[in-house]
Amino acid sequence: MPLGTLDRSPPPFFKQGPSALSKLMVFSAIALFLMVADTRFRISQPVRAVVATVLYPLQWIAMRPVLALRFGTGYFESLSSAQATEEAARRKLAAQSLRANQVEELTLENDRLRKLLQLRDRINTPATAAEVLYDTADPYTRRVIIDKGLAHGIEPGSPVIDESGVLGQVTRVYPLVSEVTLITDREQAIPVLNARTGARSVAFGDPTSKDGPLELRFMAANADVQSGDLLTTSGVDGVYPPGLPVARVLKIERRPDSAFAHIGCAPQALVEGARHVMILAKSGERMPPRPHPEDTAPPLRKVPK
């Protein structure tokens, strides 16, 4: 039997390092600390940024098979389906051309009227185009990763839209990529305006609901909402520019035992399969300054004499 058949170096008898149990304790404590730091204090971003930068080459490699598959299916797609897509795109363009041509004139008219009425100018929002790299595999949230990051001037909190509506908001920015939380995530809320009635409300993500992945909460049971109503951003939050389509009301359930109606909505943006998105700059900086908050200290109670 030649040498090297067996592991010749004997296992260390005395120098075994800390025991497995103590290692378990230490690393569990670090993991728990990281979780608390991540959820409560939000101080773990430097750790994430470092790990993300180290992982970027691996992520780049892991993307290749998926990109090759996308390219391959696109290449071998039959000619007829490509022609059908082109036909649909042309029809859509023709339908939009009338409105698109009117936009210039309407913008000019709007500007003049606003000047006439001495209203504040509309806020123009600069935008950056980006591509969705992948949906995060985490099944407990609804997030996607896009291919623009700190190096491209992306700021956390910026709204993200696709061609048909609001998709979500940038929540974390890494050097080369950023993470977008979709409007259907459970922790995401977006102030909306009912385009038919002008009533303002807030839509919350509710991905497990059967009535649609968005829910319009705190609407009175007798509120004027109909199924099919378009909800657009209201712009009161200073994050999303006003007037972007968000969702369409799907189902309204007025329960006799509750003061609020249960309203399910379907997002207009392709939350499940968006590829090309636009990242808008936060409109907060170009908004007028917020009014100074009133002194919130409780009034001094007069000492009864």
Partner 1 sequence: MIMRPGQQLLLPANPVFIWGSLLLALLMNMIPLGRVAWTPDLLALVLVFWGVHQPLRVGIGAAFAFGLAMDVHQAALLGQHALAYTALSYLAITMHRRLLWFTVPSQAVQVLPLFVAAHAIELAIRMMAGGIFPGVSLLLAPVIESLLWPVVSIVLLAPQRRAPDPDENRPL
Q: Which of 70, 90 has the CB closer to partner 1?
A: 70
Cβ neighbours of 83 (radius 10 Å): 10
Report in angstroms how near the CB of residue 26 gets to partner 1 at its nearest.
9
**Quick check: helix, strand or coil at residue 162?**
strand
Q: Which of 137, 259 has the CB closer to partner 1?
A: 137
Q: Which of 156, 207 has the CB closer to partner 1?
A: 207
Distance CA 29, CA 245 (A): 45
Report in angstroms how near the CB of residue 3 gets to partner 1 at its nearest.
9
Distance CA 229, CA 231 (A): 6
Q: Which residues, 6+ apart, have CB-to-CB distance to 109 below 8 Å? A: none
Distance CA 254, CA 220 (A): 9
Residue for token pair 């977006």 = 190
Report in angstroms how near the CB of residue 72 gets to partner 1 at its nearest.
15
Q: Which of 188, 268 has the CB closer to partner 1?
A: 188
Element (H, E) at 79: helix 79-117
Give, in order, the Cα–Cα distances in Å from 163 to each of 123, 134, 142. 20, 18, 19
Element (H, E) at 178: strand 178-182
Report in angstroms how near the CB of residue 190 gets to partner 1 at its nearest.
17
Q: Which of 76, 140 has the CB closer to partner 1?
A: 140
Q: Which of 7, 104 has the CB closer to partner 1?
A: 7
Tokens of 265: 């909505």
Nearest of 141, 156, 235 to residue 188 by alpha carbon: 141
H helix intervals, 118-215: none
The answer to whether 119 and 245 are in contact (CB under 8 A) is no
Report in angstroms how near the CB of residue 249 gets to partner 1 at its nearest.
22
Residue for token pair 């260390």 = 12
Report in angstroms how near the CB of residue 41 gets to partner 1 at its nearest.
12
Q: Which of 6, 79 has the CB closer to partner 1?
A: 6
Report in angstroms how near the CB of residue 58 gets to partner 1 at its nearest.
6
**Quick check: helix, strand or coil at residue 293?**
coil
Report in angstroms how near the CB of residue 2 gets to partner 1 at its nearest.
5
Q: Which of 244, 274 has the CB closer to partner 1?
A: 274
Q: Which residues bind partner 1 (CB under 8 A)?
A: 1-2, 4-8, 11-12, 20-21, 23-24, 27-28, 30-35, 37-39, 44, 47-48, 51-52, 54-55, 58-59, 61-63, 65-66, 133-143, 145, 172, 179, 185-187, 207-208
